[in-house]
Structure 1
Amino acid sequence: MRRAFAGRAAILMLHEIQQDWRWELKTGASPDFLEYSLKWLRQEGWEIVSLDTCLEQLAADTQPHRYAVLTFDDGYRDNVATALPILERHNAPFTVYVPTGAVTRTLQPWWLGLRELFRLRDSIAIDGMAMRFSCRDFDEKASALEKVSNWVHEDYHRVEMLTPTFNKAGLSLESLNDTYFLNGAELQALARHPLASIGGHTESHPALAYLNEALARAEMADNRNYLEGLLQRPVRHVAFPYGNARACGPREQHLAVEAGFSTAVTTRHGQISDRKPNHFALPRIALGGPFDSRIAFEGRMNGVQSAVEMLLGRSN
């Protein structure tokens, strides 16, 4: 199983590294889980390298090395406050993909807004779903949040359908930016760290496939230009927001090339087996979330999940 389905490289996808995972409704990964994952990778013979090094070595290597790449989406403050000391202990390079709006405080992070509502209230009506959720404890809140989030991910037009719910609750999504995302000075400091690299994540974190070509192109190109101006260094990598087949495809890959990026990562599950994979449709393996566990992580890294999905005929 492991030989047949595990790849030569794996790009790991993280978001928040949460000190109080339960209070944050299990939406990220805990520091202990990150620490465990890095130790496990080393013990199992994975070399933790930068994305550039990984792709260069895959193309050149004849030896059976396995490479792990760490990526963090969105530019959360806890990537520095909580994750960075752990990454430093393990001398682990990493990339943080940052949308312009997170830095300029104009992002509309609906996923954080939903979490805020469920975390602070026991009864919530989601107008667009015509449903009311009554949650007695944190586990029920996490389950309800997962259900609503999945509903949005089925059709990203539904993001706009959440607006009445936020308005009735008096919740400004922009007000969450200061709490959760790195500001310009913090991002500049992170970019100078020898283990860190900064990648693009569009201007406003849209599902690019839902936009016309001109808007989708501008989302990527303007984000790259903004980050390069802020950081005074090249920004070569991009992560497609949401990253699944509904949110990005061949058109978005082409636009990433046009925007000057060298790679693009998706959220489609998988490892890299080819020496020369498509650099603009790179799969990743997710870490964290309400149903994550050490057994599940090891299964993903050993190829078990890929094998099961292949047997069931599933695709990302």
Structure 2
Amino acid sequence: MSLKYTAIRASFELLWLTGMPRLFRLLSRSRGVIFTLHRVLPAPPADFSPNAILQVQPAFLDYCLERLGELDIDIVSLDEALERLASSRKGRPFVVLTFDDAYRDNLQHALPILRAHEAPFTLYVPTAFVDGVGQLWWQAIEDIIARQEAVAFSEDGETEYVETRTLAQKQEAFDRLYWRLRKMPEPERLALLNDFTAAYGYDLHQQCRDLIMDWQELRQFAGDPLCTIGAHTVHHYELAKLPLEQARNEMIQSVDIIEAQFGIQPKHFSYPLGGPLSCGPREFDLAVELGFRTAVTTRPGGLYPYHLHKLCQLPRVSLNGYFQARRYVDVFASGGLFTQLGRLTG
């Protein structure tokens, strides 16, 4: 675990020990929290798993939902959350559950738990992923580095061989490649990713088919009355890095494809990656222009009545896979705490 996450864990411990989550729930004007989830997997992550932040174990998810009930926190849909925000009285605090990307393990491991707790949730779907032609590039570079003792990085016509024998070397190589890809324009990122995966015989489309629900499986998932389907673009590109019309088309086409498949038009949207590098005022305005009722980021924070005027830039709190200790659920559920965190890190 990096120094950053070690520091966050220490902060979580201090917050829990001092009873701050309960105090914030009592005194903060935050009405609730939107949780971000991605994968739900029973096996613990391998020693080298930089994407472990995106996965929680079924037992932890089950405990989270149980603990929310003990804290008198309601689990509600996005639409009900908006109704509660509009109410003149604070009422009971609430949590909204959201899942990004349509991972198959959501169907296998998350849905039975959600049904057992009668917990409504939203699933944001990038349609190319469900078609089996998406690129889960963050997982691809982890998989390649995990199995290699060295990897080749090419830049400006030069090739550098980087050792990846130890965990530290693997993590350093992952961080270097990850942030290089994040900072590139999307066409350059795609080209570099294709070259890198091809050099190691890694089939991106097969990876997508292995990890993501197909349309038939997604139809089972979406057919559950607890489920709200949201849009998440077509290709999961970072919208802020696209020309305006391409960004608009990514959003419009994702809605059209989902409507063609299910006969419903999604009214809720999630910006891929969702941080400041990925979306900003232009994208927020696009979501409003296209008629989305809400659009969520990955910026941390709780929900307040003023968010009724900023419904296409809503914050979320990630149920981070590095922090699956039961005592941390009280911290995650405190919107006020994460609002302060967002101000400190923003």
> 1:268 aligns to what SS in structure 2?
coil
Cα distance in structure 1, aligned partners of 2:45 and 2:345: 30
Whole-angstrom CA distance in 2 between matches of 1:154 and 1:297: 33
Q: Which residue of 2 aligns with 1:286?
A: 318
Larger deviation, residues 15-24 vs 221-230: 15-24
TM-score, structure 1 as length reference: 0.88
1:233-252 mapped onto 2 (5 Å cutoff) = 233-252=264-283
Q: 1:265 deviation in Å?
A: 0.5
Where does 1:151-170 land on structure 2 (aligned, <5 Å)?
151-154=180-183, 157=186, 159-160=189-190, 161-170=192-201
1:8 partnered with 2:31:
yes
CA distance in 1, matches of 2:112, 2:134: 27
Q: Aligned letter for 1:307?
A: Q
For the residue of structure 2 that corresponds to 1:282, the secondary structure is coil
Stretches of structure 1 that go unaligned for 5 or more consecutive residues are none
Question: Percent identity, aligned pairs only?
Answer: 32
Report the TM-score when normalising by structure 2.
Answer: 0.81
Match of 2:64 among 34, 37, 51: 37
| Selected match of 1:179 from 202, 206, 210 | 210
Instruction: Tell me which moved more, 87-96 or 285-294.
Output: 285-294
Residues paired across the two proteins, number:
312
Q: Structure 1 residues 142, 39: closer, same or farther in 2, change over 3 A?
A: farther
For 1:198 and 1:9, how far apart are their aligned partners in 2? Answer: 21
Partner SS, residue 250 of structure 2: helix
- 2:115 corresponding residue in structure 1: 88
* Aligned-partner residue type, residue 90 of structure 1: H
**8 Å Cα contact 1:11-1:71 kept in structure 2:** yes
Give how far 1:34 is off.
0.9
C-alpha distance in 1, partners of 2:36/2:101? 11
Which range is displaced more, 250-259 or 74-83? 250-259
Select which of 166, 175, 178 maps to 1:149.
Answer: 178
Distance 1:163 1:5, change over 3 A: farther
- After TM superposition, list the pairs within 5 Å mapping 1:196-215 onto structure 2: 196-215=227-246
Which of 13, 24, 40 matches 1:17? 40
- Number of the residue aligned with 1:105: 132
Q: Which runs of 5+ in 2 are unaligned?
A: 1-19
Letter in structure 2 aligned against 1:288:
N
**CA displacement, residues 256-301 of structure 1 (integer Å, 9 cap, x when unaligned):** 2333321101111111122525110010000133455445443233
Larger mean Cα displacement after TM superposition, 236-245 or 19-28: 19-28
Corresponding residue for residue 75 of structure 1: 102
Contact residue 16 and residue 76 of structure 1 kept, 8 A: yes
**Using the alignment, how far apart are the partners of 1:308 and 1:37 within structure 2?**
21
